Structure formats: C-alpha cells, structure tokens
Chains A and B, each alone.
Chain A
C-alpha cells in the first residue's frame, strides 16, 4: 500500500494496538491481517509490576510470553540457592516457548525488572485454535517453528565452535 494512504488510514493510534505489536514480532511477521486479528483474540495480555516472578524453575509450564513493554530477567537457581543470570530480555523478545507444546517443567525462572506488559500465548488456546481454525494454527505454528529452528541453528553453530575451541585447547595443552 502507498505510504501516503497508510498514514491516513493507520494513524499513530495504530502503532499502539496489539495488532501492530504482534505484526512486529518476528515469529508472527509472516501472518496476514486476518490471522493477526485472530491471534489477537487468543493471546492474553498481562500486566506485571517490577520484580514480580513470571514463573519459577520447576513449575509446570503451559505457554510462552512475549514482552510488549518492559524488561525480564531469566535466571537459574541451583541446589545451594545461588542464582545465575542467564539473560536479560527486552521489548519484542519471547521466552518460555519450551513449554508451549508439552507441559514440561520450566528450566529457568523469569522475573520482571521493570513494570512490564507480557503477551501470553498458551497451549490450551492453541489447542482450541487447532480444532477451530486449522489453517490459521498451521501458519502460527510454522512461524514459531521458524524462529525456534533459527535458535537451534545458532545453538548448534555455537556448539560446533566451542567443540573446535576445546579440541584446539586440548592440543595446545598436549603440545606444552
């Protein structure tokens, strides 16, 4: 569409809508307008205060969260109760997708570090969507799958590098 018309029909108000926000999330960027409108109906918008726990390690998870505004800290806790920060996530990032397809225990905890609005996408809603709108759900799952496989690819590349590094380190140690 012509940017001129776009400006008239979709004013600054549009940028504030959930619809717009969802279209900026990489996993949903390939969804069309109708699908986005449907997605808008199955996600839950939740408000968190600063320092609130979203979920803790070991909980049975039931879905993923996307950060609309604010910041979330992902951390793990070992048996001695020492916490290790794993990541700081900002606007547009998502987390907790491991528990989306099966009720697995959370492998890390998530805590907000600022007043935060999270968009939750949960397994039960997706299951219902699969029953009612299979075509839409296929698009949705395809987008999620794309992003998750990107992550997997990055992971395996990093692993490869680490392996190479480890082997060269061992060689150096053997040479000395």
Chain B
C-alpha cells in the first residue's frame, strides 16, 4: 500500500492497533485490579492504625524530655536514646517497688463476677423502675431491664473475645511502638519540612506559619489530654484503694481512659465502679465515699478546677453536639477504641480549622485594595 494519499501505511496501522489494544487491555486490567489493590492496601494496613496512633502519642509525650537533653548540647538521636533508657528504668523501678498488679487474675475474677454484678444492677434498676412507674406509668412500655441485660451481655462477650486477642497484640505493640516513636521523634521535622517545601512560593510563608501554630497547639492539646487522663486515673486509684472495693486498678484505668471523652466519658467511667460498690459494699459510708471520689474529687475539684485550666487551652473546646457526633462516628469506625479517640481527633481537626481561620484574618493578601466591608479602597 502506498501512502501517497495521506493515509496510514501498514506499519503505522499496526503500531496504532497495538497501542490501542494495550491501552484498552491495561485500562481493563487497572480497573479490575483497582479493587484488588485497595483490598490489598487494606489488609496490608490493618493493625497498623493502633501502633501508629500510640507511637504518635508517645512521641508527643516524650518530645519535651528529648528537648530537655537537646538543650544540654546532646544530639537528637542520643537524647532520644537517653530518654528511652531513663523511661524504661523508671518503669522497671516502679514495678520493682510496688510490684506488678495482677491484671490477669483480676480479669478472670471479673469475668466470673460480671454476671453477678449485672443481675444485681438490674435488680436495683427494677426497684427504681417500680417507684418510677407509680408516677410515670408509660415507662412500663419500654423493656428497660431487658435491654440493659442484652446490651451488657453483648458488651461482656466483646470484651471476652477481644482480651486474648489484644493480649497477643500487646506483644507486637511493645515492639512496634518504641520503634515507630523513635523514628517519629527523630525524623518528623525532616518529613514535615519536606512536605512543606512542596508548597508554591507565594503561599510558602503562610503554610509554614500555620503549620508551626497548629503543631504547637496539637502538642499542647495531646500532652494535656494524656496527662489529664493519667492524673485522673491515679486520683481514682488512690481514692478507691482507701475503701474495700475490688478491681481498683481496672476501675482506675477505665476512669482514666474514659476521661479522654469530654462530657460523656466521666459518667460512663464511673458506672462500673458504682455498680461494683453497690453490689459488694451496699449503700453505706463507703459507697458515698466512692461516689465522692469519682464525682467531687476526681471530676470537679481535680479535673475542672485544677487540670483543665492548667493543661488544656480553651481553644480546643468542642461543642457538645460535635462531641456526640464524634463518639458515634468513632464507634462506627473502630468500636470502643474509636469512641475514645474520636473526640480527640475531632478536637485536633477543630484546632486546625481555628488556626487557619485565625491566620486568614490577619493574612489577607488583598487588604491593601479592599476595606473590611469589601469596598475598593
């Protein structure tokens, strides 16, 4: 075929055909494997969320200590190692002095005791309902005790299933978290600088400024929250060990962990303690003391009057509606863990938005040309 007429010669047609078929074939292949790839990514990243989150938190917590050693002219890697060694030594020392709490035995005893606590709690609830029904007869329509029973049973089942599995995971966490947080501590600045340097010249200063503000606020917030939970846990521990109540360490951990969720968390956190106190000790001086520890000492005096004003800035306050939404969405995504970390993550997003907004108020590239009302100068 001669190609004087401007058409394609045979070789060109062959190349075109090849190119088109490979394009279509690879398109189909990519399309069909895209779902495979996302599935692969999903399986590859499962179980990484928790270690990365924990190591980020650890990195945020240890950063001031690392800075302390850096100020004394140690280089960063060396100061991180120093902090690690001191931290491990402290934990070991603590374990040597007070002895490790018998978590496993306690969990087993709780497993055996849980149904007893549950039935007694439902009994109490029935008693209250009987009184309430005299005034509000329609309550009878809602099977509250039954609902409570089924909900707690499923919750217990969840805990029983999750505990051995999480015990397995703790081993890998012990390995991964120190490793990850070491790299976060050492290289996070380089990583972030690399990312920021990608911004266009015109917006570089703004992005750098906003980043530094946000990261400072974030560090402040995360450190504050964790310290707050820790101190509340210790206060509850000490307060409860003055009574005869059992499972003090577990109750303290629950109180501390739920304290990460504002408004709702502390209420949820005190329920197990109150139920156990009610069943084991009955309504008496000790029960009121426990209620006092949870409500008055831990929440009102220590948390509201001392910790929150010192540790947590007002910037990060979330509207209660957002708190509830964050809890629900976190629960949908990651279960109980998601409920606890949903609110802090929402607060982090909130801080980012507020800081950007605040910066934009001052940084307005057109404020030379327009008044605040938008009129041309």
Binding site for B on A (CB under 8 A): 44, 46, 48, 52-63, 79, 103, 120, 122-125, 127-128, 131-135
- Of the candidates A44, A61, A127, the one whose C-beta lies within 8 Å of that of B212 is A127
Chain A residues lying within 8 Å of B365, measured Cβ to Cβ, are 56, 58-59
Chain B residues lying within 8 Å of A132, measured Cβ to Cβ, are 67, 70-71
Residue of A at shortest CB range from B193? Answer: A44
How far apart are the CA atoms of A44 and B238 in the complex, in Å?
Answer: 51
Closest beta carbon of chain B to A44's beta carbon, Å: 6
B205, A55: Cβ atoms closer than 8 Å: yes
Closest beta carbon of chain A to B255's beta carbon, Å: 34
Residue of A at shortest CB range from B76? Answer: A132
Q: 9 A-B pairs, CB-CB below 8 angstroms?
A: A46-B204, A58-B365, A60-B363, A61-B205, A62-B205, A63-B205, A79-B377, A103-B362, A135-B73
B367, A58: Cβ atoms closer than 8 Å: yes
Residue of A at shortest CB range from B211? Answer: A124
Chain B residues lying within 8 Å of A133, measured Cβ to Cβ, are 70-71
Chain B residues lying within 8 Å of A56, measured Cβ to Cβ, are 365, 368
Chain B residues lying within 8 Å of A103, measured Cβ to Cβ, are 209, 362
How far apart are the CA atoms of A48 and B202 in the complex, in Å?
Answer: 10
B71, A122: Cβ atoms closer than 8 Å: no
Closest beta carbon of chain A to B307's beta carbon, Å: 24
How far apart are the CA atoms of A52 and B67 in the complex, in Å?
Answer: 38
B71, A44: Cβ atoms closer than 8 Å: no
A53, B202: Cβ atoms closer than 8 Å: yes
Closest beta carbon of chain B to A165's beta carbon, Å: 33
Nearest 5 pairs of A and B residues by beta carbon:
A124-B212, A58-B368, A60-B363, A62-B205, A62-B209
How far apart are the CA atoms of A161 and B209 in the complex, in Å?
Answer: 40
Residue B197 at the chain A interface, CB threshold 8 Å: yes
Contact flag A46-B212 (CB < 8 Å), given A59-B365, A132-B67: no
How far apart are the CA atoms of A97 and B368 in the complex, in Å?
Answer: 21
Chain B residues lying within 8 Å of A63, measured Cβ to Cβ, are 205
Contact flag A62-B208 (CB < 8 Å), given A48-B201, A54-B201: yes
Chain B residues lying within 8 Å of A46, measured Cβ to Cβ, are 197, 201, 204
Chain B residues lying within 8 Å of A52, measured Cβ to Cβ, are 201
Chain B residues lying within 8 Å of A57, measured Cβ to Cβ, are 368
Chain A residues lying within 8 Å of B73, measured Cβ to Cβ, are 135
Closest beta carbon of chain A to B374's beta carbon, Å: 16
B362, A122: Cβ atoms closer than 8 Å: no
- Of the candidates A54, A55, A124, A131, the one whose C-beta lies within 8 Å of that of B208 is A124
Closest beta carbon of chain A to B280's beta carbon, Å: 50
How far apart are the CA atoms of A83 and B303 in the complex, in Å?
Answer: 58
How far apart are the CA atoms of A124 and B135 in the complex, in Å?
Answer: 64
Chain A residues lying within 8 Å of B70, measured Cβ to Cβ, are 132-133
- Of the candidates A44, A128, A131, the one whose C-beta lies within 8 Å of that of B204 is A44
Residue of A at shortest CB range from B202? Answer: A53
How far apart are the CA atoms of A139 and B209 in the complex, in Å?
Answer: 23
How far apart are the CA atoms of A59 and B201 in the complex, in Å?
Answer: 14
B 338-377 contacts with A by CB, 8 A: 362-363, 365, 367-368, 377
Closest beta carbon of chain A to B362's beta carbon, Å: 5
Closest beta carbon of chain B to A56's beta carbon, Å: 7
How far apart are the CA atoms of A79 and B213 in the complex, in Å?
Answer: 33
Chain B residues lying within 8 Å of A59, measured Cβ to Cβ, are 205, 363, 365
Chain B residues lying within 8 Å of A79, measured Cβ to Cβ, are 377
B201, A60: Cβ atoms closer than 8 Å: no
Chain A residues lying within 8 Å of B204, measured Cβ to Cβ, are 44, 46, 120
Having A48-B201, A61-B205, A135-B73, one finds 16 other A-B pairs with CB under 8 Å, namely A46-B201, A46-B204, A53-B202, A55-B205, A56-B365, A57-B368, A58-B367, A59-B365, A60-B362, A63-B205, A103-B209, A103-B362, A123-B209, A124-B208, A124-B212, A133-B71
Chain B residues lying within 8 Å of A128, measured Cβ to Cβ, are 212
How far apart are the CA atoms of A13 and B307 in the complex, in Å?
Answer: 56
Closest beta carbon of chain A to B19's beta carbon, Å: 36
How far apart are the CA atoms of A128 and B71 in the complex, in Å?
Answer: 12
How far apart are the CA atoms of A120 and B206 in the complex, in Å?
Answer: 13
Residue of A at shortest CB range from B377? Answer: A79
Chain B residues lying within 8 Å of A62, measured Cβ to Cβ, are 205-206, 208-209
Chain A residues lying within 8 Å of B193, measured Cβ to Cβ, are 44
How far apart are the CA atoms of A56 and B368 in the complex, in Å?
Answer: 10
Residue of B at shortest CB range from A55? Answer: B205
Residue of A at shortest CB range from B204? Answer: A46
Residue of A at shortest CB range from B212? Answer: A124
Closest beta carbon of chain A to B35's beta carbon, Å: 40
Chain B residues lying within 8 Å of A61, measured Cβ to Cβ, are 205
B 121-136 contacts with A by CB, 8 A: none
B 171-213 contacts with A by CB, 8 A: 193, 197, 201-202, 204-206, 208-209, 211-213
Chain B residues lying within 8 Å of A54, measured Cβ to Cβ, are 201
Closest beta carbon of chain A to B202's beta carbon, Å: 7
Residue of A at shortest CB range from B66? Answer: A132
